[in-house]
Every structure is written in C-alpha cells, then in structure tokens.
Amino acid sequence: ECYRNTQTSRSKSNKRNAKYHSSFIPVNSYDFSVYEMLMQIFYISFQYHNMRFLHVADTHLGYSAYHKMASNGLNQREVDTYDAFRQFVDYAIETKPDFIIHAGDLFDTVRPTNRAIKFAVEQLLRLSEERIPIVIISGNHETPKLRETGSPLSFFEHLNGVYVVYKGKYERIELGDAMIHAIPHNFSKEDLIKNVKEVRIEENHVNLLTMHVGIIGIKEFSRGDFNEQIISSGYLSPSFDYIALGHYHRATEVTKNAYYSGSTEYFSFKEAGEKKGFYDIEIANELKIKFVPLRTREMIDFGSIDCRDLEPDEITGEIIKKFDGIEGKIVRIFLKNLNIRKQRSMDWNRIKKAASQALHAEIRYDLQEIKYEMASKSKIASLEEEWKNYISKVPLEGKKEIEELALKYLSEAIHATD
C-alpha cells in the first residue's frame, strides 16, 4: 500500500506535533479500480479546495474593572471575559473547524494571574482533546517590554495542537493545505516591517496571514495604546486568501481579504452598542465569512443631556428615566452645560438608587462657571441702580432680603461720606 497524507503536514519548527491531527487514505496499488482511483483523486482535490477555520482575537483573559463581585468572589468583569471565551470554545467543539487563528491579546497583561492562566490551559486542552489546532500570536498587551521577561504564551508550547508565536519573529505554520504566516507583536516599527517583508506566498497552499497591528490607510484602525504598532494598509496584500487581524476591538472589514474580528467583550465605552464575537470562515471556490455573536453583558452610552435650560429636579428626572431597565448593564451618561448651583441641588440619593441596579453606572459632567453679565450702558448709573441691576441676574435664595440689606449699607456709606 501507498499512503497520502491529506490533512496535516508540519514545518520543521513544529515537529513535536507531527503525528497530531494526521489522517491517511490507504490506496491498494494492486486491486483498486479506475473508478476508485478517480474517487481518491476527487477526495484529495476536495480536501484541498475546502477549508473552514475560526478567527478570534482580543479575548483579554484576566481583565478586571469596577467593584462588583460575582457569586464566586471574583471580579464580575473578569468572570465575563472567561464566559465569553468559554462560549467561543464551546462553538468550536460543536462545529469542528479545521483550525483556529487567535490574532493576539489572549491575555490582558504580560503577567496574568494563576487563575487566568489555569482557565486558558483548561480551554486550550478542550480544543486539543477534540483535535482542533489553534495558532495564537502575541498581542501588545501580553508582550513583555524586555526580551528577558518571559511571555505567558510560553506556558502552552507543549500542548498538542497549540501553536504559539511570541518571540517577535515571523513564523510559518503549516496545517494541511493551509500555510499560516504568523507575525506577533513587535516593539519596534522596523522589526515589524522587516517581518512583514519576509513573508512569501507558498504555492499549492491556502495562504493566511495573521498580525496584531493597527492599520492606517483610507480609515485608521487603532486604539491609541502606548505600545501599539500601526502599518499602512498597503501591506495587506491581496495575494493572501485571508488576513486575520487583531488589536482593533470592532469587527471590521478593512479590505476584501483582511478583517478584524474585534474583541469578545466590551473594554471601553467607545465599543458600546457593538456586537461582540468572532468570524467563521470558509474557503472553497470563494471566501465566505460569517460573524458569530457572543452573549455578553450590555454596555450602553446614553450620550448627553443638555442641562442649560433645565432645573435641578428636571435633570434628576431625565437621568432616572434613562436609567430605567439598566439591571446588570454597564452604562454612562454625560451632563452638558451643568453649573455648580444645579449640580448641588440635584437629588443625588434618587440618582444613586437608580444607578445601583447597574453593574456600573458612570455620570460625567464638566461644571460650568456661572457668568454674570451686566448690561452695557453709555452712562454709569448710581451705585444703588448698579447694585439692583447686578443682583437681579444672580440666582440666589432670599434675594429680596439680601438686596434690601445691601441697599441699606450702601445708603449709610454714601451718607457717611457727605
């Protein structure tokens, strides 16, 4: 018998998994019919031209925020990131893709907690046991500033079917007919461009590129992180069958073959209102891309309330109205043109009670100074008249008593100088 490996071949850098996820088709060289031979050829051809994989990124495991705790005593937002990634792994196991590409920022920090690492190992082992390979590149959040500092991705190097690329160098990973060109986060623009220029399209393969970068071109896709790398959209070659990008948290088509999958959870109010999830991609005669949404905690930015012509009780009422139905959500509202007097007179006890339903409620405002304008006159009026004109424009309680008392003192002062 002779054998044809139709599913997985390995590059030199991945010999440790050479037997993992392999499948062979036996062909008896003596007794197979012409029909059987044609069927074998058809099957091999079909295997090559049909491929399905998942593209996910920016899971930020270990992220925590706000002060609410889950029932298990952990920060609720940390638990939310774990729930989102678990949903993703559940989907992968249920639908059995050929492989997965994670385009960076698996973790939220270069030093994740033991809890975050343990959770990641558990989920990756689930994929490994189901023989679903996954390629993970490092993102800017989990890449150490010093080369001597270890990467958290190194923990996964010995897991079967888990390929981690984190050493700042371009690597190629061959999974069956797919050649995955993986470029991890680089701290220098020069190293990044050097890595990009080293990429060569592999003939007779489906060529996939994955990077964790911002893109600038017709539109800028970046997050403003202090250590992010941004490259021109000109480096997104149409020669690739698909480009899996990470870093930008909104699921976005950059070019016809390049996509950001977005993050799996909300990490900023800039992302409020967006769907969170990942891409399910099929490459056959054409590229088919399906966005798969995840169940996540809702984040709402209510925008602003203009307080210029509203009284304190009206402002309070508007906030209470907005906060109706915010149980368990993350919300924000901005009070525009709010002055100190109105801010102090609002019913903050009612507002706090309404806000307590949310996981997190943020009320922002920039206090405006109260400006008192005096009508311009060609002649200066008497002190009494000037005072009456001034006090009429000042929002004070007991204004009448203050006005009369001041006029009394003015009169006494004027007569004392006569």
What's the mean pLDDT in 29-42?
A: 55
Question: Is residue 345 pLDDT above 70, yes or no?
Answer: yes
Q: Is 141 considered catalytic here? A: yes
pLDDT class of 150 with cuts at 50, 70, 90: confident
Query: What is the reported pTM?
Result: 0.77
> How confident is the model at residue 3, as a pLDDT?
26
Which residue of the set 55, 60, 141, 181 is catalytic? 141
Assign 202 to helix, strand or coil: coil
Task: In whole angstroms, give the CA distance from residue 66 to residue 355.
Answer: 14
| Per-residue pLDDT tens digits for 187-207 | 888 999 999 999 999 999 999
Among 189-193, 282-286, 349-353, top mean pLDDT goes to 349-353
Residues of the chain with CATH 3.60.21.10: 50-293
Question: Is residue 127 pLDDT above 80, yes or no?
Answer: yes
| Per-residue pLDDT tens digits for 313-341 | 999 999 999 999 999 999 999 999 999 99
Taking domain 50-293, whether its CATH number is 3.60.21.10 is answered by yes
| Per-residue pLDDT tens digits for 258-279 | 999 999 999 999 999 999 999 9
Element (H, E) at 51: strand 51-56
Nearby residues of 3 by Cβ (< 8 Å), 6 or more positions away: 24, 25, 26, 27
Task: In whole angstroms, give the CA distance from residue 173 to residue 345.
Answer: 64
Question: Is residue 133 pLDDT above 70, yes or no?
Answer: yes
| Mean pLDDT taken over the chain | 84
Task: In whole angstroms, give the CA distance from residue 360 to residue 326.
Answer: 9
